[in-house]
């Protein structure tokens, strides 16, 4: 798999992962009554929506693309920091997105 396909697919994978985890945590909050709905929903679902918006809708606008994906990825990291794998994936996505949006890469 080349770097271009990876840069197309990894942000979508990360965004969907955040949305699925956010849905699961939101369901858990409602069923157990533990609380923390604003945190789990805000970080995971909010982060997933930002990543997907940047990756799928605003890919042709480099600054907005990088900004949305970066903020979304870092927002989701807050809730997934304990997993270690997801934050590493989020950092890889950020690096790939910045690399794609850089002027030197567009030649």
Query: Can you give the pLDDT at residue 105?
Result: 55
Opening angle at CA 92, ends 48 and 27, nearest 5 = 25
Strand boundaries in the chain, DSSP class E = none
Query: Can you give the pLDDT at residue 104?
Result: 67
- How many other C-beta atoms are found inside a 10 Å radius of the C-beta of residue 5? 9
Query: Can you give the pLDDT at residue 34?
Result: 84
Query: Can you give the pLDDT at residue 106?
Result: 55
The residue extents of the domains of the chain are 3-98
CA distance linking residue 104 with residue 98, whole number of Å: 11
What tens-digit pLDDT sequence spans the chain (107 residues)?
688 899 999 999 999 999 999 999 999 999 998 888 999 999 999 999 999 999 999 989 999 999 999 999 999 999 999 999 999 999 999 999 999 988 765 54
Query: Can you give the pLDDT at residue 101?
Result: 87
Torsions phi, psi of 27, nearest 5? -60, -40
Query: Can you give the pLDDT at residue 15?
Result: 97
């Amino acid at each position: 798999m080349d770097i271009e396909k990876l840069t197309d697919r990894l942000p979508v994978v990360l965004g969907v992962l955040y949305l699925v985890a956010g849905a699961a945590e939101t369901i858990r909050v409602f069923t157990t009554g533990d609380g923390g709905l604003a945190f789990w929903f805000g970080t995971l679902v909010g982060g997933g929506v930002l990543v997907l918006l940047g990756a799928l809708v605003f890919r042709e606008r480099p600054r907005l693309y990088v900004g949305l994906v970066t903020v979304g990825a870092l927002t989701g990291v807050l809730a997934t920091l304990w997993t270690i794998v997801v934050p590493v994936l989020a950092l890889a996505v950020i690096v790939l997105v910045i690399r794609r949006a850089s002027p030197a890469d567009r030649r």
